[in-house]
Amino acid sequence: MRAACLLSLLAVGPVLAQNTNSNTDSDSLEQAISESLADIASSITTTIDEATIPTGDYLTYSTTVFLTDHGSVLGSTAVEVTETSGSENSTTSNATLTTTSDSVTVLMGGQTTITANGTNNITHTSTPTASQTPVVNTQPCNGYPEFCNRKYSNISMVAAHNSPFVMQGNVAANQALGVQYQLDDGVRMLQFQAHVANGTVNLCHTSCDMLNAGSLDDYLTSVASWMRQHPYDVITLLIGNYDYADPGNFTAAFESSGLMDLVFTPPMIPMGLDDWPTLGSIILSGKRALVFMDYQANQTAYPWLMDEFSQIWETPFSPTDRAFPCNVQRPPGLADNDARARMYMANHNLNIEFNIASLNLLIPNTALLNETNADTGYGSLGRMADNCTTRWNRAPNFLLVDYYNEGNFNGSVFEVAANLNNVSYDRDSCCGTLSAASSVVPRGMMTAVLMLVGVQILMSGF
């Protein structure tokens, strides 16, 4: 009953927020709301209970598995599947895999000098060519000619957390602008949560009753359309398999959307930090969409659908701590030397946590977006990037953020990525449309206030 009341509040939130915005005193009211929520958010120090962190099967490969040009598997090697619950691990099954690596032509990028930041930790650098007079490519790869001869694993990119969840006034939304805006502005990883029902994959946040962004097919069709118009860009997709569904459920959407024609198949499983090809070679191959899945990936059957956690580790999930510690949380128990041998993602999407009876609710902390997505300062993306670089002696590969278009200036999240990549960012290139970007945060504030009111109603026994 209480959960139903809460969902009702979520449903009416956008309407009430819109009506409030139409009042003559809306600007001053929303300013007061913003300041009030900022005070509340700053005082929250709770962290997510370990029980709320997603758990599932984590794969451990004892031997490298090589794939053919067509993605088929040859030979055999043991793959250990570990099911994690809390801090206990137990081996549950074994599988077999293998292969042959293929070669591709490499685009040449501009030659740069390896540099280090103030803490003597190396940030991303381009790989010099062997030639005395290197060929300089004037066609940018992911926006920068310098990236063409860098390994995919030697680049930091902005990742849109829950990319499809764009719905003004809905407390479960995570972005203000749609996927094509995101890609136009420079987002190069698209992360989302998928739910499978009756053979259809929909993009929903926790529950399809809370926020349903439509079918995976429609979303991927938009991504494929953009990619065909931008042949020099490499896009990464990270699927959150919320229902731990069989990966075969996802193939139809990739095929019907046309994105399967662009999907990258790795030459080996798993791909270590130094095994990834350059962006130029990926682009020349025509297979420019790299697809990862967090749980239940089966690369024996679907070599292109890459297992995330055997190749990427993550910092704490759904963070509520503004210090954003840069420690490994998933996969659990990963040794430092193993973490240093793979890519990693910095989760920098700040949340507020509400506990109502048995319901645990996290919502984006929109009150602090200007600080969370900033390039400098406490709690900022820039600060976390520096801390991560210091901790691991290399920069994060993926910077996962909410409302990427907000920050202490337009494009602040992209400036952070550019600094890590040792390139210059054009601040005039971001973000989306002014009207779309300027209205979402106050409405998000209003909805959050409605949520706080709803909490009081629910706790009073309504």
The answer to whether position 10 is within a domain reads no
Name the residue among 316, 314, 401, 321 with its Cα closest to residue 50: 316
Q: Is 205 considered catalytic here?
A: yes
Computed over every residue of the chain, the mean pLDDT equals 78
Instruction: Render pLDDT for 36-54 as a digit per residue (tens, 0 to 9).
Output: 555 554 544 444 444 467 8
The answer to whether position 43 is within a domain reads no
Specify the number of domains making up the chain.
1
Instruction: Render pLDDT for 322-365 as a digit per residue (tens, 0 to 9).
Output: 999 999 999 999 999 999 999 999 999 999 877 665 666 778 89
One-letter identity of residue 277? P
Domain limits for position 274: 54-112+136-459
The answer to whether position 34 is within a domain reads no
Most confident of 58-62, 109-113, 297-301, 450-454: 297-301
Here the CATH number for the domain that contains residue 416 is 3.20.20.190
The answer to whether position 26 is within a domain reads no
The answer to whether position 32 is within a domain reads no
Please give the structure tokens belonging to residue 5.
């009341």
Cα–Cα–Cα angle for 270, 92, 347, rounded to 5 degrees: 50
Name the residue among 392, 393, 431 with its Cα closest to residue 414: 431
Quick one: pLDDT at residue 136? Answer: 53
Residue 106 φ/ψ, nearest 5 degrees: -110, 130
Catalytic-labelled residue, pool 124, 195, 205, 348: 205
pTM: 0.78
List Cβ neighbours of 404 (8 Å cut-off, separation of 6 or more).
Answer: 158, 160, 175, 182, 185, 187, 373, 413, 431
The answer to whether position 321 is within a domain reads yes
Catalytic-labelled residue, pool 161, 195, 230, 348: 161
The conformation of residue 277, written as its DSSP 8-state character, comes to P
Q: Is 70 considered catalytic here?
A: no
The answer to whether position 131 is within a domain reads no
The answer to whether position 117 is within a domain reads no
